[in-house]
Amino acid sequence: MIKLFRGLLVVVCCLAGMAVADEKNILVTSGSDRATPIAVVPFGWQGGTVLPDDMAEIIGNDLRNSGYYAPIPKQNMIGLPTQASEVIFRDWKALGAQYVMVGNIVPAGGRLQVQYALFNVATEQPVLTGSVSGTAEQLRDMAHYISDQSFEKLTGIKGAFSTRLLYVTAERASATNTRYTLQRSDYDGARAVTLLQSREPILSPRFAPDGKRIAYVSFEQKRPRIFMQNIDTGRREQITNFEGLNGAPAWSPDGSKLAFVLSKDGNAEIYVMDLASRGLTRVTNNPAIDTEPFWGKDGSTIYFTSDRGGKPQIYKTAVGSGNAERVTFIGNYNASPKLSADEKTLVMIHRQDGFTNFRVAAQDIQRGTVKILTDTNLDESATVAPNGTMVIYATRQQGRGVLMLVSINGRVRLPLPTAQGEVREPSWSPYLN
């Protein structure tokens, strides 16, 4: 099944360009400094029943996944305070914690009231205090909210833990019967729900900037076509029906346009469609294969993969200019461009010269340095958190297609829990609040 997915990815997303490395380009293969130790103490609970989720564990995992913080294991904690007056700072200093979070959950009229506080251990002063309420089914939402608030207070970077993830699973019942499912989950793979099922492949799902719509490629007509779907209502609409390849949809920053790849004129080129008028603009015009568009935040620049230099490399172009500028120079393969929100980092699928493994890498746009983020191989479909701190990508583990999360600083690498079957095509949502 993975061969089918990879083959279809090549058909829909294609390949792209090569050149000689510039002197300023440097390859970095590993990270350096340590994450900041933090203790997220198990929250107190005043009810009589067992809660369905452990809020402290979720918050600790969120902060760990960012690559900025290293949660102290529960079994190493000297005490388990649940409110500010119970915190003994010398205990946490002895453990090496720089921050400690405590919290308490109280039932209130069929809902849950959560009080939490985050302290700087060295100064013994509160960094953040707050409260949030919801139902027992919203414990994960409340935990992610606390993680977002804490992360932003500590780093100045907006937290992305309340975001969502799209991905596709493929379950093979027989040689001629495979079920493809488009799923939406929490960013960490929890609480997956089905948005679409098909007996034909689904590829390249993408969230719109409003987080309410998605676009994807479906083979339900036995050939690739692009569809748009409302997440809440399930209403879907076919966007393209051109001859040949229709693939790799990408939303413009304002959600009014879709960039995608068509081969209707005989070659794979990038086009832009105005969704209101359905007017079509051709962006690239080159004998090479141009594919995998990704918009810059200015709404006029598109990054894309092209083999116009001989092997796949990443280029950028201003819509309507007709000119393209090469962006990547290290390695003999760079594809699937994704930008961090601040546009300082380009995340891509990368292969080093002399190697056969495909890895996720991040390039500093200004300096040109490239850092390898993963230690797996056959990596593909990298997608970046809206705050640029984490990347989720598809790879293989123990013979199965899985999703992996890696922090952009390279400190954290871990698999995401997902449904059975081959898992591919992850796509991160924008901020949803």
Q: Count the alpha carbons within 13 Å of 87 in the hemisphere toward its beta carbon.
A: 28
- Can you give the pLDDT at residue 177? 87
Residues 212, 231 contacting (CB under 8 angstroms): yes
> In this structure, is residue 433 part of a structural domain?
no
**pLDDT, tens only, 26-70:** 544 444 478 999 999 999 998 888 999 999 999 999 999 999 999
Mean pLDDT across the chain: 91
Q: Rounded mean pLDDT of 313-335?
A: 94
Residue 198 lies in a domain: yes
Q: b/e string for 265-301 if b means 16 or more Cβ within 10 A?
A: eebbbbbbbebeeeeeeebbebebbbbbbbbbeeeeb
**Kind and range of the H or E run holding 13:** helix 2-13
Which domain CATH number covers 336?
A: 2.120.10.30
Are residues 67 and 16 located together in one domain of the fold?
no
Mean pLDDT score, 82-101: 96
Predicted local confidence at residue 351, as pLDDT: 95
Is residue 383 in some structural domain?
Answer: yes
pLDDT digits (tens, 9 = 90+) for 209-258: 999 999 999 999 999 999 999 999 999 999 999 999 999 999 999 999 99
What is the pLDDT at residue 6? 36
- In angstroms, the CA 391 to CA 387 distance is 10
Give residue 203's identity as a one-letter amino acid code.
L
Choose between 88 and 23: higher pLDDT.
88
Residue 293 neighbours by CB under 8 Å, 6+ apart? 248, 250, 259, 260, 261, 270, 283, 302, 303, 304
pLDDT at site 89 = 97
Residue type, 320: G
240: left (phi over 0), alpha (psi -120 to 50) or beta: beta
Domain boundary among the residues 155, 179, 197 is at: 155
With bands split at pLDDT 50, 70 and 90, how would you rate the model's confidence at 2?
Answer: very low
- Of the two residues 394 and 177, the one the predictor is more confident about is 394
Average pLDDT over residues 197-205: 96
Q: How far apart are CA 252 and CA 126, in angstroms?
A: 41
Say if residue 389's pLDDT is above 90: yes
pLDDT over 90 (residue 23): no
Spatial distance between the Cα atoms of 418 and 404, rounded to a whole number of angstroms = 10
Report the length, in residues, of the chain: 433
- One domain for residues 8 and 87: no
Q: How many CB atoms lie within 10 A of CB 405?
A: 21
Looking at residue 377, its pLDDT comes to: 83
According to the model, what pLDDT value does residue 172 have? 86
What is d(CA 343, CA 3) in angstroms, rounded to the nearest whole number? 33
Residue 87 has pLDDT above 50, yes or no: yes
* Residue located via tokens 């949803």: 432
Does position 126 have pLDDT exceeding 70, yes or no?
yes
Owner of token pair 């081969």:
263
Calculate what percentage of the chain has a pLDDT beyond 70. Answer: 92
Give the pLDDT of residue 418: 73
Q: What confidence tens digit (pLDDT) does each residue in 131-159 have?
A: 999 999 999 999 999 999 999 999 999 99
Q: Is position 263 within any domain? A: yes
Summarize the confidence of residues 398-413 as an average pLDDT: 92
Q: What percent of the chain clears pLDDT 90, i.e. is strictly above it?
A: 82
CB 361, CB 332: distance < 8 Å: no
Predicted confidence at residue 1, as pLDDT, reads 34
Using pLDDT thresholds of 50, 70 and 90, give the confidence band for residue 322. Answer: confident
Per-residue buried b or exposed e for 219-253, using 16+ beta carbons within 10 Å of the residue's own CB: bbeeebbbbbbebeeeebeebbebeebbbbbbbbe
Q: What whole-number distance in Å separates Cα of residue 287 and Cα of residue 317?
A: 16
Same structural domain, 140 and 189: no
pLDDT at 268 over 90: yes
Q: With residue 150 as reference, give the H or E element that holds it.
A: helix 139-155
Whether 281 and 398 map to the same domain: the answer is yes
From 155, 182, 203, the end of a domain falls on 155
**Phi and psi, residue 57, nearest 5°:** -65, -40
* 181 and 107 housed in the same domain: no
Q: Are residues 139 and 241 in the same domain?
A: no
Residue 103 belongs to domain with CATH number: 3.40.50.10070
Backbone φ, ψ for residue 391 (5° rounding)? -130, 140
Q: Are residues 237 and 298 in the same domain?
A: yes
If asked whether residues 25 and 89 sit together in one domain, one would say no
Task: Indicate whether 207 belongs to any domain.
Answer: yes
51: containing domain: 36-155
Computed from CA positions of residues 351, 357, 361, 367, in that sequence, does the dihedral angle turn out positive or negative?
Answer: negative
Query: How many separate domains does the chain show?
Result: 2
Residue 366 has pLDDT above 60, yes or no: yes
pLDDT at 161: 98
In a domain, 129, yes or no: yes
Give the Cα separation of 227 and 229 in Å (integer).
7
> How far, in Å, are 252, 291, 417 from residue 294 at the CA level?
8, 9, 27
Please tell me which residue, 330 or 21, carries the higher pLDDT value: 330
- Phi first, then psi, for residue 140 (nearest 5°) are -65, -40
Is 50 within a domain? yes
Angle, helices 55-65 vs 139-155, to 10°: value is 40
Same domain, 107 and 184: no
Residues 241 and 291 in one domain: yes
* Same-domain check for residues 147 and 244: no
If asked whether residues 415 and 284 sit together in one domain, one would say yes
The arithmetic mean of pLDDT across residues 414-422, rounded, is: 84
Pick the last residue of a domain from 129, 155, 181.
Answer: 155
